[in-house]
A and B are shown apart, each in its own frame.
Chain A
Amino acid sequence: MADTGENFAAFNSRALVEMVGGVTDEALKVTKIKQFLSVLAGRFFNWAGRKSLFTLHLGIKCCAIEMAAAATPRFDGDRFGVLFRSSPRQSDVLLVNGPVSKKFADKIVRLWEQMPEPKYCIAMGECAISGGPYFQSYNILEGVDTVIPVDVYIPGCPPRPEALIDGFGLLREKIIRIGGAPSSEREGEKPLIVGDE
């Protein structure tokens, strides 16, 4: 401690924390309490995360109106924990509800990259799945999955709000299975489609 030029008469709190932390970590590993705690914490975070899926407030096209209808008194997505946040930094789910045009492609990838892990993407409506009625257009990408990995597909044009809530239900089941795996490590996962079973 003396050669770092600090006042060696005072306690360097950072070194103290590191030392205590290191000792505690070793103790927990040896007694297997750490393993137990991380499983417990993982399950807890998984439960908390899937019961409160914060969705980015992004409305591209018609399916956004059905998304808004799913938040309203008749269908009420809020009772499932689905809340809309304005900033990508605070949201878990990117709900793509419309066709992605060439002008918007860079921006939607940027929004996706700004979201912190674990994050999920739901493609709602035909336009987001495959280009929809505009698959022949010169300006629309053939599905958002050309630029962003998608976890759940919700077919329909537009899908009813009940289908959107079902899509969130499928996403919850997927989260139970894959937990907090970051989106880059989900390559082998088959994306879920509402209405498939």
Chain B
Amino acid sequence: MGTTVTLSQNEAAAEECLAAINSRFSGSGVVASVERHSNAKKYAFVRITTPAQHWQALAKWMRFDLGANYCSMITGTHFPEGPPERGWEVAYHFLRQPITNQIPNTQTVYVAEKLDGLLIPMEFEVLIPLENNDSPTVPTVQHIWGGADWNEKETWDLVGIKFEGHKNMHRVLNPHDSPEGFHPLQKQHKIRYHEHNEMYDDAQGFGRKTTDEGRVK
């Protein structure tokens, strides 16, 4: 009660971030805007679209000057029928969390309404569209955020987007002996029984022949 970040604080913080980004990166292909959620309390967040070659510079600036210290999610999407300049897209989501190390036996009590400037929590979304070819590549930000490490591994494992400069890339969710080049979330891979209208033809699934017999030696 009385400890929630208010809408006006949130909007002011978003506008501040937008102004900072525009003053630093305007004219280089980095486009930023303040968007609003349509859910919950309809708060604002900052969306940035950038070409891949400026990503590492933008990332470093965001981390240290804008305060986006929490890399939360990296999503890769495959658009095989998209326009030639957007065949793949990598979406990064960051949060700005006002967290500092505590002196032992003390804690920080934020009175949310009194936060200002770089302390106001903010969400950032960075979209990087990539060309519609067979080898999408994005520079890595593994050295900037620790949380980007396993997120990049997962994006490569599932979607197939390569992260240039990423050390120790390996499969995390699929088995290690998956075939080279098998990235299940690409659109040409269909799930099993994709064409089978099982709800109407065979509700109990008795007619399905399992493909896994004898799978294990």
Contact = CB atoms under 8 A, between A and B. Distances in A.
B125 to A, nearest CB: 29
Interface string B179-217: 000001000010111100000000001001011110110
B215 A141 contact: yes
B8 interface: no
A146 B174 contact: no
Nearest to B174: A139
Interface in A69-107: 101-103, 105-106
Contacts, number: 42
* Interface SS majority for chain B: loop
A143 B192 contact: no
Interface string B156-167: 000000000000
A135 B194 CA distance: 11
Given A141-B212, A146-B215, A136 B193 contact: yes
Report, as a range, how many residues of chain B touch the other chain. Answer: 10 to 19
Contacts of B215: 102, 105, 141, 146-147
A114 interface: no
Interface in A126-156: 130, 135-139, 141-143, 146-147
A109 interface: yes
21 contacts: A102-B175, A102-B215, A103-B174, A109-B216, A135-B193, A135-B205, A136-B192, A136-B193, A136-B194, A137-B191, A138-B191, A138-B192, A139-B174, A141-B212, A141-B215, A142-B208, A142-B210, A142-B211, A142-B212, A146-B213, A146-B215
